[in-house]
Structure 1
Amino acid sequence: MNIPNILTLLRVVLIPVIVVVYYLPVGWSYMAAAGVFFIAGCTDMLDGYLARRWNQSTPFGAFLDPVADKLMVAVSLTLLVHEYASFWVTVPAMIIIGREIVISALREWMAELGKRTSVAVSYIGKIKTAAQMGAIFFLLATPAELKTLMGLVGYGFLYLAAVLTIWSMWQYLAAAWGDLMPSDDHD
C-alpha cells in the first residue's frame, strides 16, 4: 500500500460522505457536499501524479483509480438527478453514465484482444472529465430550487460535458470499429 493507492481509497470512502453531507438538514449541506466532492476530485489528480512521479504505479491502483472515478461521478450524478428532478439534468446525466459503462466495457474487451492502447484516454476525454467535475461541483453547491449564477455555470458545464462525452465516445468507438465489426473479406 502506498500513498497514491491510499488517496484512491480515500476517494472511494468520500463517496458516501458526499451523499450523507448533501442530505443533512442544514443550510450549508450543499456547499459542504460540494467541498467534499472537490477534495475527492483533488485526490484523483494527486494520486496519478504521485504514482508517476514517485514511480509507485501498482496493478491495484491501475484497477481502482478508474473504478473510483466512475463511482464518484455516477453516484454524484444520481444524487443530482434525484435532487433536481428535471429533464435538463437527467438527460445529460444519462448520457454521461451510459458512456462510462459503454467505454468501460469497450476497454475491457479491447484489452482481451491485446489492443487496449487503441482506446486509451484521449485529450478530449480529459477535457470531458474536467467539465463534468466542474458541473457536479457547481450543481452540488446549489440547491435545485435556487436559480443562481453558480447553478447556471453548473448547467453549462453539464451540457459541455455531455457534448464532449458523445464526442469522446464516438472517437473511442471509431478507433475500435475495425475490431467491433471486422470485414467478412476472405481474400
Structure 2
Amino acid sequence: MRRLINVERELRYMKEVMSSLMDKQDRLITENTALKLRVAECEKEQEEEKVEFSEVVRKQIQENTKVTVIKVIKEKDDLMRDAVDKKKSFVIYGMKEKKNPSKFIRERKEKELAKTVIKRVQDSTQEFDQKVEEVIRLGRYSKGGRRPMKVKMRSQVAVEEIMGRKGKLADDVEHKDIRIKRDMN
C-alpha cells in the first residue's frame, strides 16, 4: 500500500513538473517568434545602414586618396634622400673626444680630426679631406668616452675610395685603435 501511495505521489509530482515544462515551452515559443520578428527588422535596418555606410566610406576614400598619395610620395623622396646620404657617409669608431664648451670650436676640432684620419687613408695625390661636408658625433657625451663620428662627404666616390683604403689605419701606430665602417641603417 505504501508503495502505491509513493507511486501516486511521484506521478503527481511528475504531472506538475510536466505542466510547468509545457508552460515554459509555450512561453519560449512565443518569445522565439517575437525575437525572430525583431531579427528580421534588425536585418532590414542593417541593410539600409550598409548602403549608407558604403556611400560614406566611398566619399571618405575619395577625399583622402590625394592626401595619402602625397604622403607616400614625400616618404619615398625622404627614403631616397636618406639612401643617398648613407652612401655619401661613413662612421669612424675609436676617436678620443675632448670636452669643448663652445659648439663652434668643438665642431671645427672634430672636422679636423676626421680630416687627419682621411689623410692617413688617402694616397698622396688625392685630396679627399677637402671633400668633408659634415662631421657629427653619435650618442650622448660621457667623460673620457669614444663616441662614433659620422662623416658626410660631398661625393660617393670619395667614400668608396676611403672604404677601399681603410686597411692603412691598421699599419699606422698612431691610429691603430681607429676603425672606419660604412654608415648603415
What TM-score results when the alignment is normalised by the length of structure 2? 0.22
- Give 1 or 2 for the bigger CA radius of gyration: 2
Structure number with the higher helix fraction is 1
Q: TM-score, normalised by structure 1?
A: 0.22
